[in-house]
Amino acid sequence: MRISFTVALAALALSSTTNGLKILMNNDDGFGSGNLRELYKLLKGAGHDVLIVAPAVQQSGQGGRSEFTAYANLTSPAQYNIVQAGAPAVGTDPNDSNIWYYNGTPAACTFVALDYVLPRYYASWNRAPDLFIAGPNYGVNLGPFVYTLSGTLGATYAAVSRSIPGIALSASNDAIPYFNVTNTTNPATWAAKASLKVVQSFIDNTPANSQILPLGYGVNVNIPPLDSDAIPPITKARLTGEAETDIAVFNETTKLFKYGDLRPLAAGVNVCYNGDCELPGETFVVNGGNVSVSLFTIDYTAPKIGYTEAVFAKIGGLFEESGNATKTVKRGMEGRGKILKGRDVSREE
């Protein structure tokens, strides 16, 4: 039986819509970022329902800090004068109602998206995106020390804390306003294409009606400098391994401090206790010209190994003085369920 081209095209469109995900995007470079907007366009082109809620202005280096503005209106223009002073502190781009800004930190934008924008304006999302994406950032975010500083990762961690699979993306290109990305040979477009390849692979290899990531998991992706749209090899990595931490550098003339890189590299930021310690560090991977993909979890608890037991043993007497306090607390937790259940969907492994 022959099927008309029109019918086939309609079926393809329906399939694309059906298989598309609800994706919430954010960043720390501001809602006018060329990187952010280029990936937004590519994700929409791939058939996904995409929403941006990102800072009104540049908010790099905020980490997981959740700061909400004290003013109902913008006291100065938003990034690149996209929105003028006096406009509401939360609102949409004049040219795209699915691109929102909020005058707060990246993590705050994540929460504003989940608790204000979605329930009020996107009821069909049920306050629960299928996937959260931050970035691509201008500049890589490598290693566990930078992990605590990055607004890109802070926004992602906030989403993961709310039971939403999160992917943090960071590239190596310079900042550029979205309206200055005028051709496909722009590094912002290259960064977006590399990002899409990783993101779409996660999506394509997830069975229907399944979570993209296990509960409490996030992904950190870092992209090296690109000189074309050719995507470098994508490499499995870990956060530690040749990672950097800072030192305070004092200027005798100005009497001011600035940060510098510690040499030799610090052992404390590179010791491996969790995950596969045979994997190369993401810093090494990106410095070698590859794209790194590392996984992190929301749980900072030290692993159950000899070191952990030895540390607890040093205050074992305090635990003994408290009698059966630990057992009592554990019984109380068991009574409430292994995983506390709230609005978010919980899954017990």
Q: pLDDT per residue over 115-164, tens digit each?
A: 999 999 999 998 899 999 999 999 999 999 999 999 999 999 999 999 99
Average pLDDT over residues 206-211: 93
Give 256's pLDDT tier (boundaries 50, 70, 90): very high
Average pLDDT over residues 274-283: 97
C-alpha to C-alpha distances, 179 to 27, 134, 189, nearest whole angstrom: 17, 20, 12
Reported as a pLDDT band with limits 50, 70 and 90, residue 8 is: very low
- What span, in angstroms and rounded, lies between the C-alpha atoms of 52 and 27? 9
CA–CA gap between residue 42 and residue 46 (Å, rounded):
6
CB atoms within 10 A of CB 283: 23
Structure-token pair, residue 302: 């030290």
- 333 — pLDDT class (breaks 50, 70, 90): low
Q: What is the pLDDT of residue 319?
A: 85
What is the pLDDT at residue 346?
41
How confident is the model over 194-208, as a mean pLDDT? 98
CA distance 18 to 48: 9
| Tokens (6 digits) for 118 | 């979605």
pLDDT band at residue 322 using 50, 70 and 90 as cut-offs: confident
The pLDDT score that the predictor gives to residue 11 is 35
Contact status, residue 262 vs residue 245, Cβ threshold 8 Å? yes
Looking at residue 290, its pLDDT comes to 98
Q: State residue 332's pLDDT score.
A: 72
- Segment 40-45 shows an average pLDDT of 99
How does the average pLDDT of the chain come out, rounded?
91
pLDDT band at 324 (very low <50, low <70, confident <90, very high): low
Q: What is the pLDDT of residue 337?
A: 61
Question: What positions carry a catalytic annotation?
Answer: 170
**221 phi, psi to nearest 5 deg:** -115, 130
Q: Determine the average pLDDT of the residues in 183-193.
A: 98
Q: What letters, b where the CB count within 10 A reaches 16 and e where it falls short, cover 325-338?
A: eeeeeeeeeeeeee
